[in-house]
Amino acid sequence: MWNRRVALFKSAPSTRRSTTSCSGSQTPLININPFTPDSLLVQSAALQRSNRKRSHWNDSYGDDLEASDGELEEIHPPSKRITVVESNMMSRYAAEFHELEKIGCGEFGSVFKCVKRLDGCIYAIKRSKKPLAGSVDEQNALREVYAHAVLGQHPHVVRYYSAWAEDDHMLIQNEFCSGGTLSDVIKENFKTMCFLSELELKDLLLQVAHGLKYIHSMSLVHMDIKPSNIFISQKTIAFTDDDDNDGMTTNVYKIGDLGHVTTVNNPKVEEGDSRFLANEILQEDYRNLTKADIFALALTVISASGSEPLPPNGEKWHEIRHGMLPHIPQELSQEFLSLLKLMIDPDPECRPSASALIKHSVLLTTSKMNTDQLRMELSAEKFKNALLQKELKKAQMAKAAAEEKVLQTVKVLTGSTVQSCNRASRIVGKRMNRCVSLTI
C-alpha cells in the first residue's frame, strides 16, 4: 500500500481532475488512508469491480451487460492520483490566518503560532520544507495527516483540525499548546538545576501512557516518542462551584508529531531519534512495535528527571539497551525506578503495555495524589492569602489612625498659632510686645 506513493504535490492537467470509466461514470480522485479499515474495503471493492467488469465484457451481451453496468455504477474505486497545488490559486494560509510568531523549527519544517481570521482562535500551523514531491518528507507529511484523521480527538493527543498543500508545501493546522514542549521545559530546568519531582514524573508518565493506550488501541504505533514530541497545555482545575478563583493550573501532556506513525499489522517503519530508539527496531524486529513506544517513554521520563543528555550511540547507548538506567541526579523511590527499568527491558515482551502502565500500582494512585497535592497547595495559598488580607487590613487601619492623628495635630497647631498672633499684637508697657511661648 505504501509502495504506491500518492503524487500529492505533483501538478497534473486540470482535465484529469476525474477519470471516466468504460460505463461512463466518473471516479473522484481521492487518497486512500492506510490507517483506516475502510481503505481495505474500498480497495477490495475496486478489485472486485474490475474483475466483474472484465468478466462481463468477455462473456455477457445485451441485458446482462446492462445489468452489470448498473451494479458497477454503485461502487467507484478511488484513485491514488490527487493534485492539490492547482486548486490553491490563492494562499489559504495568508487568506485564513494571521501569523503571530514562529514557535518551532525542525527537520520537517517550521511551526507558527497563528490566529484564524474567521473564529479569532489561536492555532499551531506546521509548514513543511520544500521540495516535498517524491521525498521521504512527503510520505511523513501524508502519514501525519492520515494518522491525525483516524485518531480524531483525545485529551492526550494533539488535536488536528485541517491540512492542505500550497506551492509544494504541506500545511497542517493543529491545536496550539501554550506550554510548549517537554523539551523546552527540560532545557529551562537544566538552567536552574530544578527538575520535575517524582510526583510530577509519575503524572507525566501516566498521561502519556493514556495517549499511547489510545493510539495502540487503533492498531497504530507512534515510533518517535521523545520530549520534543510531548506538548504541554495548561488547564485550570476548579475545586468549588462558586465564582471565586478557586482553582489551580496544571499541565496536560499531549502526544504530537505523528510523522513516523505506522500500523501494527502492516508496519512500514522509519526509524526515529536514535537516542530513544529500542534495539529491536534497529534489528528490524517488528513483532512488538507497541513496546518500542514504551521503551521511548521511559527514556523520555528519565530525561525529564534531570538525567544527562542521552547518547545517540556508543557504549552508554548499548548499556541502556541492556537494561541499565542512566544516572538520575535526584532521589526517586525504588518502586518507581524498578518500573522505569522494566520499561527498558531488553526483551520487549517483558515491558508493560500502555494499558498495564495505567493500572500499575506505582501509578494507580498518582492521579489522586496529584489532586490531593493540588488541594493542599490551594489550601496553603488560601491560608497565606488570608494572612496577607489580615495584615493588609491592619496596615490600612493603622494608616487611617495615623492620618487622623495628623489631622488633629494640624488643627491644634493652627488654633494655637492664631491665638499667639492675637496676643503678640497687644502692647505691654511702653513699646514692648509680650512674648508668648507655646509648647505642644
Please give the Cα distance from 120 to 176 (Å, whole number): 13
Query: Taking a C-beta distance cutoff of 8 angstroms, is the pair 106, 129 a contact?
Result: no
Rounded-to-integer distance, Cα 191 and Cα 413, Å: 61
- Centroid of chain to Cα 349: 29
CATH assignment of 86-175?
3.30.200.20
Residues of the binding site: 103-111, 126, 229, 257
User: Active-site positions?
Assistant: 224
Domain ranges of the chain: 25-79, 86-175, 182-364, 375-432
- pLDDT score for 279: 95
One-letter amino acid of 307: S
Element (H, E) at 50: helix 37-59
The CA angle 17-18-22, to the nearest 5 degrees, is 150
Per-residue confidence (pLDDT) for residue 161, from 0 to 100: 96
List the CATH code of the domain at 182-364: 1.10.510.10
Greatest extent of the chain over all pairs of C-alpha atoms, in Å? 153
CB 344 within 8 A of CB 328: no
Residue ranges of E strands in 228-275: 230-238, 247-255, 262-263
In the chain (440 residues long), the average pLDDT of successive 10-residue segments reads: 46 42 51 67 59 51 41 45 48 93 86 94 89 72 90 94 89 94 95 92 96 96 96 77 63 94 91 93 94 98 95 95 94 95 97 95 71 58 75 86 84 68 54 52
